[in-house]
Amino acid sequence: MTSTPKFRSKYHPDEALKRKQDADYGLRTRLSVYCYLMEHSWFDGLSLDIDKANIIMKALDAAVIKMEGGTENDVKILELEDEEEKAEKLELVKKEEARMPEPDKKTADKDKEEDSKQVENTEPPEEEKKEQEEEKKLKESPEEEEKGEEGEEKEEVEQSEPAKESPAPVKVAKKRKRKDSGDDSYDEDDATASDSESEPEAPPPVVEKVEEEEPAEKPKEDEEKTPKEDEPKPEKKEEEKQKEKPKEENKDKEKEVEATTPKPRPLHKTCSLFMRSIAPNISKAEIISLCKRFPGFMRVALSDPQPERRFYRRAWVTFDRSVNIKEICWNLQNIRLRDCELSPVVNRDLARRVRSINGITQHKQIVRNDIKLAAKLIHSLDDRSQLWSSETVNEEGRVENLSSQNPILKNITDYLIEEVSAEEEELMGNATDIPDDGPKEGNPEVNIERDEKLIKVLDKLLLYLRIVHSIDYYNTCEYPNEDEMPNRCGIVHVARTAPS
């Protein structure tokens, strides 16, 4: 009678021993990964709350990278992914802003016209009064207007004369300014005096000095400035070159370091194929030898035989993330193993890795009870695999297991013992025999009390169970073949925000 490959690998003495050794090696690898994360403060500030889903996934991804044999350099890819996500979000925001319709030019022009009108209407009233007064004065003095016209005629005659009589327009300009400014002191005497002074004479010394000295001084200043500015330029260039040399050397060194150091690998991401029905007579080694032909092959996982489906099994084949998984799937479509079609399909990535449960688990009494159960579970699982335990031989020759040396369980009893004020209640005449487990009659509502210290202790225990022993506490589920599956530390259930 021949046994099936799954039955042989599970119960044959030789095969079962090898299987147990592989399981122990994987368990100790997970324990070392958990210790690494704890030493490098990956769990500091980490709480198993649905609001911290991104931080939880990042910590689990770091654990998977270390389980796959990654280095600290490979763990840095998680930070690069965060930066890429931020850059993608910024690009999306910019695209949305670019898609927004711009305001029409007509409406913008109308707005500008309205703004200019408002500015004109908001002029100070004092200036308007001054303008009105000046207009009145000009109307009341018609004689001055006639004289002004005569002065203008004289100006035109003087301007037609040779350039020697150039000083005259200076005086007339002054006279015009006085007239325009509304100065009442302007009269005929001033006009005649200006006419008499407008004879061809030497221009005023002040005007000549200003007009002649300025161009004479400017070239001197330019001559003085240009050599001073030009002299230090070669020195500055040399200094800049000397400063740029160490920068270029640093850039060259950085390039050399980047060339020598390998790029971080995304070991926490994989591609996989799913095969729905594998016949009982097909062994795992045959599937491995078939899939090894393709590049990027990593491992194969097989489920237990299903009696309701003629003991057929399901299979997951894991490949590296860099491969073209659809091409591999197409090449495996028409391959048969012992007259059994594999008919593979592409396995999608996990949609929701962090899932929430009822927030009542945040209640202080429930948290304390979960700490008790999680501590007992960790202690029994560690003893089963002989983690952290030390054995001694007593006087009678019996082997005794001492208390666990697991640092997670250190001083755990401080949080398990409940304290009550029984004496005070007895002295005050209050009854202490009524249990507080359930809701009292007439008061069905329970006020949820949250204790942060207890929650932190429970989170450490649950992370230890999830990473080391592959147990999802809140889902009451164990993943025994997780190291062979495509996604290690794939799904975890956490608490939701406590209800009011």
Q: How many CB atoms lie within 10 A of CB 102?
A: 7
Whether 300 has a pLDDT exceeding 90, the answer reads: yes
pLDDT in tens, 98-132: 876 655 545 555 555 665 655 455 545 555 666 77
In this prediction, residue 235 has a pLDDT band, given cuts at 50, 70 and 90, of low
Strand 270-278 relative to strand 344-347: parallel, antiparallel, unpaired? antiparallel
Which range of 154-163, 368-377, 382-391, 488-497 scores highest in mean pLDDT? It is 368-377
Q: How far apart are CA 14 and CA 209, in angstroms?
A: 116
Q: Tokens at residue 126, please? A: 């004092």
What is the predicted pLDDT for the residue at 327? 93
What is the predicted pLDDT for the residue at 162? 45
pTM for this prediction? 0.64
Average pLDDT rounded to a whole number, residues 198-208: 46
What is the per-residue burial (b if ≥16 Cβ within 10 Å, else e) of 14-40? eeeeeeeeeeeebbebbbebbeebbee
Yes or no: domain 270-348 corresponds to CATH 3.30.1360.70? no
Q: Of 334, 349, 250, 332, which Cα lies nearest the Cα of 297?
A: 332
Whether 424 has a pLDDT exceeding 50, the answer reads: yes
Q: Of 415, 475, 407, which Cα lies nearest the Cα of 48?
A: 475
In this prediction, residue 90 has a pLDDT band, given cuts at 50, 70 and 90, of confident
- In the predicted model, what is the mean pLDDT of the chain? 74
* Radius of gyration of the chain from its Cα atoms, rounded to whole angstroms: 46
Which range of 4-13, 420-429, 439-448, 486-495 scores highest in mean pLDDT? It is 486-495
What is the predicted pLDDT for the residue at 178? 46
Average pLDDT rounded to a whole number, residues 16-26: 88
State the amino acid at position 472 in one-letter form: D
Cα 103 to Cα 106, 108, 111, 118, distances in angstroms: 9, 7, 11, 21
What is the predicted pLDDT for the residue at 117? 55
Whether 176 has a pLDDT exceeding 50, the answer reads: no
State the amino acid at position 228 in one-letter form: K
Three-class SS of 94-116: HHHHHHCCCCCHHHHHHHHHHHH
Whether 360 has a pLDDT exceeding 50, the answer reads: yes
Average pLDDT rounded to a whole number, residues 200-213: 45
Whether 450 has a pLDDT exceeding 60, the answer reads: yes
First CA to last CA distance, the chain: 63
Whether 259 has a pLDDT exceeding 90, the answer reads: no
What is the per-residue burial (b if ≥16 Cβ within 10 Å, else e) of 451-463? beebbebbbbbbb
pLDDT in tens, 41-75: 898 888 999 989 999 999 999 999 999 998 888 89
In this prediction, residue 396 has a pLDDT band, given cuts at 50, 70 and 90, of low
Whether 432 has a pLDDT exceeding 70, the answer reads: no
What is the predicted pLDDT for the residue at 188? 45
In this prediction, residue 198 has a pLDDT band, given cuts at 50, 70 and 90, of very low
What is the predicted pLDDT for the residue at 238? 65
Whether 403 has a pLDDT exceeding 70, the answer reads: no
Domain ranges of the chain: 270-348, 358-431+447-478+488-495
What is the per-residue burial (b if ≥16 Cβ within 10 Å, else e) of 56-83? bbbbbbbbbbbbbebeeebbebbeebee
